[in-house]
Structure 1
Amino acid sequence: MSIEIANESGVAVDEGSLIAVARFALDKMQVSPLAELAISLVTLQTMEDLHERWMELPGPTDVMAFPMDELGGRRPDAPDTSPALLGDIVLCPAFAGDQARTAGHALDEELRLLTVHGVLHLLGYDHAEPEEEREMFGLQRRILDEYTVAARDAQRRTRQRSADDRLLGVVGLDGPATPGDGARRQRGR
């Protein structure tokens, strides 16, 4: 799965985290691993211009999704799940920062939420009607909850491997843990 990110917002964000949560959401939604996705982070002015041009709504917004025409916003329960260019997700960190403060969490968390939200829009989910909103927001919450658990488990495993390697005196290719201690060399696990 190819996920490209372009940060033109002037705000430092954890781009790796956005790619990871997008990949996690696409995997959960059983999107082909050959699919391509682009994520752009833009300024308030750029987002305002896009919002007015494409949605005919004034002012900036937090996230916009632009599905590619050939995919047509395909949900996983739709026929023909062939590989395709999914489309673009556009995020506005400055706008999202205000939302994050209001919600009482970090900007990175808000941007992950908006990334999943954008992925779901690309796959054809919407929230214009109450039933659609319940479905989309419920799915969004489940994906984010599962991602959070998986990310914590991965961090825990990484810390445990590092602690085990230090305890055993195992190091990478650069040399033993302490000079002359006879520690065995081991290639990465």
Structure 2
Amino acid sequence: MSIEVLNESGEVPSPVGEQELHDLGRHVLDQLRVHPRTELAITLVDESAMEALHVQWMDLPGPTDVMSFPMDELRPGSDTETPEGVLGDVVLCPSVARKQAKDAGHSVEDEILLLTTHGILHLLGFDHAEPAEEREMFELQRTLLLTYLAQRGRTTTAAPNARSEH
């Protein structure tokens, strides 16, 4: 699996280390049986870059927390089929995540891990526009984040089914 993590946010060090984001991405993709030769990029950007993307792709003003840009429209694998390809890009804005974490009363790290999981699920075709879709996506998001953290001997202060602001 090729997972590239880039910190273009100007925040050094990043609120979440590159290895942590890589490991979370690998966990999510492994759990959803995504082909081992799939490519994923996770990029952290500043508010002005995120705002430009938000306006360009969603026609909405201001920066947002996370955006997903699917490439090959891959879906979770099954026992018989796991197509390979370029999953796409998850773009995160740590400064927006920091504000959301403060408002929610949990750590920035937990917020970014939650948003990363959320973004990867969007790349895999999950959505939350309809109530049934939202229940499915947020339960899966919760399970993936909690199992990842449990493997690392950690818990989260974030509500793993919290909504992204996008």
Which bracket does the TM-score occupy, shorter chain normalised? 0.7 to 0.9
Given the alignment of the two structures, is residue 52 of structure 1 paired with residue 49 of structure 2, yes or no?
no
Query: 1-side partners of 2:147 and 2:27: how far apart?
Result: 9
Q: Of the two structures, which has the highest relative contact order with CA contacts closer than 8 Å and spacing of 6 or more?
A: 2
Residue of structure 2 in register with 1:184 after alignment: none
- Shift of residue 92 of structure 1? 0.2
Deviations 1:62-117 (A, max 9, x none): 0000000xx2242436x952210100000000000011111222111111111110
Aligned equivalents of 2:70 and 2:81: distance in 1?
16
Secondary structure at the aligned position of 1:58 is classed as coil
Q: What is the CA-CA distance between 1:146 and the residue it aligns to?
A: 0.4
Matched, 1:146 2:157: no
Give 2:131's aligned amino acid.
Answer: P
Written as runs of structure 1 = structure 2, the 5 A alignment for 1:18-167 is: 18-68=21-71, 71-76=72-77, 80-152=81-153
In our comparison, the structure showing a higher alpha carbon Rg is 1
Give the TM-score of the pair, scaled to structure 2. 0.86
Task: Note the alpha carbon deviations across 1:41-80, whole angstroms, 9 max, x for none.
Answer: 0010100110010011111100000000xx2242436x95
Aligned to 2:9: 9
Q: Unaligned stretches of 5+ in structure 1?
A: 154-189
Does structure 2 conserve the Cα–Cα contact (< 8 Å) formed by 1:66 and 1:89? yes
Paired residue secondary structure (1:59): coil
Q: Percent identity of the aligned residues? A: 53
RMSD: 1.5
Measure, in 2, the Cα distance between the counterparts of 1:105 and 1:27.
Answer: 27
Aligned length in residues: 150
Which 5+ residue runs of structure 2 have no aligned equivalent? 155-166
CA distance in 1, matches of 2:74, 2:31: 16
CA distance in 1, matches of 2:77, 2:138: 16
TM-score (norm. length: structure 1)? 0.76
